Amino acid sequence: MSSDSCNSRHFSWLMKSCFPNPQHHHHPHGPHPLTPTSAAALLRRQTTISSLPDDLLLECLSRVPHSFLPSLPLVCRRWSELLDSPTFHSLRRRHNLLRVTLFAISISDHSSLSTASLCLNYESAWRVSSFLHHGSFLSLFSHSRLVAIGRRIYVIGRTAMLRYDTWTGAAVSLPGPVASRKKFATAVVAGKIYVAGGCARSEAVEEYDPESETWRVVSMAPRKRYGCFGASVDGVFYVIGGLRIGSLGNEGLVVPGSRAKGSDAAAHVYASSMDLYDVAASQWLRSRTVPGGGCVVAACAAAGFVFVLSSHAVELSFWKFNGARKSSGFGEWYRIRAPPLPAQVRLDSTVRFGCVAVGEKVVLIQVTGCIDDLLRRSGRTERGLKEGLVLVYDCATGDWSRGVDLPEAIRHAACVSVEY
């Protein structure tokens, strides 16, 4: 069963063999002498997959074709727990069966949760689904952030969180961060979720443990940021860009262009800075500055690097930071080829980007702003590209390519990748 061409007959045997055979009975007067043929038949009846130890069972489950994976947790609790283990993930990687899928999630004010998924190397169109979530707090997710652990996506709002299972489509309500946050940084380090920034009242960095489903404060950030981005490489939580939260400007923010003394300089420093938190050592490393002096508009981590997209009002620059702490190049910046935006795209405050690592690739998604509107404002009459533009950067070759545009049914979405 090494490909998706595996037929359902073999898979049905795999599931049925997890349960005892009800037609097999022991003779009340003891065993009868067995012929070689009958002994082999009895051995086949007694050796079911449920009798295998965990390591052998995991070896079998790890070879199941990708299309059958969503059904496996439904067989029994034991299978469900094994499928959540790191060993299952490692075996899938060893057998070269892992697939990385890009997910976009949008939550409306009408208690509707919409998702779209795309497996870059195997699919040519997004798969869209939508369902109602019976909850009165979905407005808290207007500026949510997404992270993924295993097959589950965590949608983190201001004070609430949803856990979405990409296999079953089930969404479960969970407690959100203790501090109310908006447009904050988040990333996963060693199987736990970390959030920082987006809170005017506290510099607290919080950690979420999926096993205990609890939040706790682990540190105080060196700066209060709003609109920042998160990434993680080699055990370090990166808090990147954003605006300074202070006493100046609207909503307590120091904003570029304000007339307050020193506000332009403060906004510039925060917009291009990066703080590094060593999770294992519980300490902050030396902060870094993104070269070029632009404003960070998107960031993610892939292939041992932190990738940062910066805006310079009329153009974009693209950088990568070496996050491998044991390498001689740790801490070095490299300017790489900027995304080749179509000529119709005019950068302004209405255009937003999402940056997601998908395996050894970086996917850039235009998640808000309408290019048609920009064309009308610029006086151009030809139709441009709609929002949802997807560009893919190959970390190995350094090449950009055009991806499949985000579906019209799920605009203004937050994006994340899931590997299984």
pLDDT of 7: 45
Give phi and psi for 411, each to the nearest 5. -90, 170
Average pLDDT over residues 371-394: 57
pLDDT tens profile 294-311:
899 999 999 999 999 999
* Distance of alpha carbon 327 from alpha carbon 331, whole angstroms: 9
* CA neighbor of 75 nearest in space, from 157, 24, 15: 15
Average pLDDT over residues 366-395: 59
pLDDT of 141: 74
* CA neighbor of 187 nearest in space, from 220, 227, 226, 236: 236
Q: Is the pLDDT of residue 319 over 80?
A: yes
Average pLDDT over residues 385-409: 88
- As assigned by CATH, the class of the 100-419 domain is mainly beta
pLDDT of 420: 84
Mean pLDDT, the chain, whole residue set:
81
pLDDT tens profile 233-289:
999 999 999 998 764 444 445 444 444 444 555 566 788 999 999 999 999 999 999
Q: Is the pLDDT of residue 226 over 70?
A: yes
Average pLDDT over residues 221-230: 94
Average pLDDT over residues 216-223: 96
Average pLDDT over residues 406-411: 80
Q: Is the pLDDT of residue 411 over 90?
A: no
pLDDT of 289: 95
pLDDT tens profile 43-85:
455 567 778 899 999 999 999 988 888 888 888 889 988 998 8
Using 50, 70 and 90 to split pLDDT, how confident is the model at 345? low
Give the length of the chain: 420
Alpha carbons within 13 angstroms on the beta-carbon side of residue 412 total 11
Average pLDDT over residues 321-332: 95
Choose the weakest-confidence range: 20-24, 358-362, 366-370, 379-383: 379-383
pLDDT of 250: 43
Q: Is the pLDDT of residue 6 over 60?
A: no
pLDDT of 66: 85
Average pLDDT over residues 143-158: 91
Using 50, 70 and 90 to split pLDDT, how confident is the model at 139? low
pLDDT of 333: 97
As a whole-number percent, the residues of the chain with pLDDT over 90 amount to 49
Alpha carbons within 13 angstroms on the beta-carbon side of residue 388 total 16
Strand order in the sheet with 295-302: 295-302, 305-311, 316-322, 333-336
pLDDT of 259: 43
pLDDT of 350: 62
Average pLDDT over residues 154-171: 89
Give phi and psi for 253, each to the nearest 5. -105, 145
pLDDT of 365: 92
User: Can you spell out the DSSP letters for 370-392?
Assistant: -HHHHHHHTT--S--PPS--EEE
Average pLDDT over residues 199-224: 95
> What is this structure's pTM?
0.81
- Tokens read off for 114: 């919409």
Q: What are the domain boundaries of the chain? A: 53-98, 100-419
Answer yes or no: are the C-beta atoms of 206 and 177 closer than 8 Å: yes
Say which residue, 3 or 213, is predicted with more confidence: 213
Average pLDDT over residues 314-339: 95
Say which residue, 5 or 365, is predicted with more confidence: 365
Average pLDDT over residues 156-168: 89
Q: Is the pLDDT of residue 146 over 80?
A: yes
Residue type (1 letter), 327: S
How crowded is residue 346: how many other Cβ atoms within 10 Å of its Cβ? 17
Say which residue, 386 or 53, is predicted with more confidence: 53
pLDDT of 49: 76
Say which residue, 89 or 209, is predicted with more confidence: 209
Average pLDDT over residues 315-342: 94
